[in-house]
Each structure stands twice: as structure tokens, then as C-alpha cells.
């Protein structure tokens, strides 16, 4: 008759091995938990970025509702509006300006 202790020990070791395998590699195991933790960190960072953007937009809306200065500033910058009596100057960057040697359309280039 075989002693029950070695058989019980083998069964317990196999059960422990099966539970360890499930813990590390099974569904809901350590790899999946690590992946979900990384995903949560990424989502938290994205949420912070979007919340900052939303706060800035809410402040801009409140500023536009509260006073005319913000509306005037926006009309000047986006629509190019000027007040009566003001002189509008347009400054063109040298890199964006057309070359000086190019003749305007419809005019002939000077002859040497």
C-alpha cells in the first residue's frame, strides 16, 4: 500500500503550479494588469491635456461674453477691422515678399 503523503504532496505541487500559471499567464493575469495600467496612465495624460484645452476655451468664452475688449481684439486680428480715423499698415516679411525684379502683371519688363 502506497503512503498517502507523497501522493498528496504531488497533487498539491501540481495544484500550486496550475494556480501560478493562471496568475502569471491566464486571463486577468499580471501581463494583462500591466498592460491595463499603462493604458490608464496614457488615458489620464490625455484627459489632463483635453481638460486644459477645455479650460482655456471656457475662459475665452467667458471673456467674450463679459466685455467688448475681447471681441474688438478678435475682430482686429481675425477680420482686419480698424476704427474710424485709424491708419492700417500692413507689414510684409521679406521672405514672403515677391522679388523686386519681377514685373507686375500686364507691364513689360524694362529694357536695358
% pLDDT > 90, the chain: 25
Orientation of helix 30-66 relative to helix 4-25, angle to 10°? 30
C-alpha distances out from residue 107 to 66, 80, 97, 104, 110, Å: 52, 30, 19, 6, 9
Q: Is residue 1 part of a domain?
A: no
**pLDDT tens for each residue of 47-88:** 999 999 999 999 988 887 887 787 888 888 788 788 888 887
Q: Is residue 74 part of a domain?
A: yes
Q: Is residue 105 part of a domain?
A: no
Tally the domains of the chain: 1
**pLDDT tens for each residue of 14-43:** 999 888 887 777 777 778 888 999 999 999
Q: Is residue 57 part of a domain?
A: yes
Q: Is residue 90 part of a domain?
A: no
Our CA angle for 19, 21, 25, nearest 5°, is 130
Query: Within a 13 Å sphere around the CA of 64, how many CA atoms are in the beta-carbon half?
Result: 9
> What's the pTM?
0.46
CB 41 within 8 A of CB 47: no
List the domain range (segments joined by +) for residue 23: 9-79
Q: Is residue 29 part of a domain?
A: yes
Amino acid at each position: 500500500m502506497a503512503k498517502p503523503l507523497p501522493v498528496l504532496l504531488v497533487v498539491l505541487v501540481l495544484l500550486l503550479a496550475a494556480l501560478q500559471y493562471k496568475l502569471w499567464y491566464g486571463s486577468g493575469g499580471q501581463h494583462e494588469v500591466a498592460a491595463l495600467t499603462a493604458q490608464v496612465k496614457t488615458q489620464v495624460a490625455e484627459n489632463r491635456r483635453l481638460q486644459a484645452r477645455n479650460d482655456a476655451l471656457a475662459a475665452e468664452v467667458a471673456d467674450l461674453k463679459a466685455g467688448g475688449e475681447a471681441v474688438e481684439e478678435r475682430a482686429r486680428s481675425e477680420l482686419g477691422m480698424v476704427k474710424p480715423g485709424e491708419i492700417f499698415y500692413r507689414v510684409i516679411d521679406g521672405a514672403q515678399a515677391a522679388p523686386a525684379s519681377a514685373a507686375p502683371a500686364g507691364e513689360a519688363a524694362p529694357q536695358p
